[in-house]
Structure 1
Amino acid sequence: MKTLLTFVLVSICCFGAAGQDNTVFPRGELAPNLHHTGDVWLYHVSAADPDFDYNVAVATFAAGARLDWHIHPAGQQLLIIEGTGYYQERGKEVQIVNKGDAIKCQPGVEHWHAASADNGVTYLAISGNKRTNWLEPVSEEVYKAIKGD
């Protein structure tokens, strides 16, 4: 059932219907800057419940917006719907992500994700039903050192 739900959500978000734009979900609410830099909008598509142990949300980042370092104890998948962004795990190189890419944030791995400096990014986030552990902000030096935008 989880596989079917994921397939349907990806199909709707990424491909839309013939002759229509890909905007299926609303932009959502502007999130308070508690664990990120810049403007980020969140729309909660589906909350975890006794039958489905995961949350589904759409996040839209303005150019230059980025999350702090964090950990998902139950993991997370990011399905890039629009734009260009970054994903980095602690101790590894930054990955540039684009529309159509899928990122698996493994359980317990420190990482961050963001919009690129010049482009916004929107992704569908499927997250395990355990609270995110927030860490320190991503420094300006680290963010500005990224090439390939």
Structure 2
Amino acid sequence: MKRITKFLVAIIAVMGIFACQQTTKEQEMKTDEMTTNAIFPKGQKGPSELFTGNAHNFGFELDSVFTTAAGNVYFMPGARSNWHSHPSGQILIITDGVGYHQIEGQPVETIKKGDVVQCPPNVRHWHGASAKVGLQQIYIVPNTEKGIVDWQEAVTDAQYQPKK
């Protein structure tokens, strides 16, 4: 009986150690997930002439071989870009959060982590965070020899509010 009791105590102890290790690994994973949510540095605050609210841009180095501009924008809750267009279009890869995107003449679309948005060449559009949740996006603008962006007027509060 003593051997069985010692054996059970030993098994429980090992299980306890294993459970503690699992908890530590889960905590490390959660910590890692929190740090990996911010893939790139916050970058420079976008000027108020081009953004409503707080948006920060971190641009990647331009490469003359690929003639592509790319970067990351962090939109804080409620922040959004002005209306704008790109001579060669734009691709957005949403890496975190929830936000909105609108191509002129179309309804406001909700965008979220994992979405890919294609903005056609020379078509007015805007994008930004939802009112309560921020948005992170990678932007890609190809064929920069044609130009990068044509900034226009601010998106009004009425335009920003998605139609229900």
Superposition RMSD in Å: 1.6
Q: Give the structure with the larger helix fraction.
A: 2
> Could you tell me the TM-score, scaled by structure 1's length?
0.80
Residue aligned with 2:39, SS: coil
Q: Are residue 113 (structure 1) and residue 127 (structure 2) matched?
A: yes
Moved over 6 A (4+): none
Decide which of 141, 150, 154 is 1:137's aligned counterpart.
154
Contact 2:99 2:111 in 1 (8 A): yes
2:48 aligned with 1:33: yes
**Unpaired segments of 5 or more residues in structure 1?**
1-17
What per-residue deviation string (whole Å, max 9, x for no partner) do you get for residues 53-79 of structure 1? 111100000100011111111111000
Name the one with the larger strand percent. Answer: 1
Q: What is the distance in 2 between the residues matched to 1:61 and 1:131?
A: 20
Q: Is the 8 A contact 2:42 2:57 kept in 1?
A: yes
Aligned to 1:54: 68
Partners of 1:28 and 1:105 lie apart in 2 by: 23
Q: How many residues align?
A: 129
Of 79, 82, 85, 1:68 maps to 82
Q: Does 1:99 align with 2:116?
A: no
TM-score w.r.t. structure 2 length? Answer: 0.73
Aligned to 1:82: 96
Q: Identity of paired residues, percent?
A: 35
String of CA shifts for 1:90-136, please: whole Å, max 9, x gaps.
10011100000000111111111011111100000011212311122
Q: Which amino acid aligns with 1:122?
A: Q
- How far apart are 1:147 and its partner, in Å? 5.0
Report which stretch shifted further, 74-83 or 20-29: 20-29
Q: Find the residue that maps to 1:84 and give its secondary structure.
A: strand
Q: Secondary structure at the match of 1:114?
A: strand
Distance of 2:97 and 2:155 partners within structure 1: 20
Match of 1:79, SS state, is strand
SS in structure 1 of the partner of residue 148 of structure 2: coil
Moved more, 128-137 or 104-113: 128-137
Q: Say which of 25, 44, 49 aligns to 2:59.
A: 44
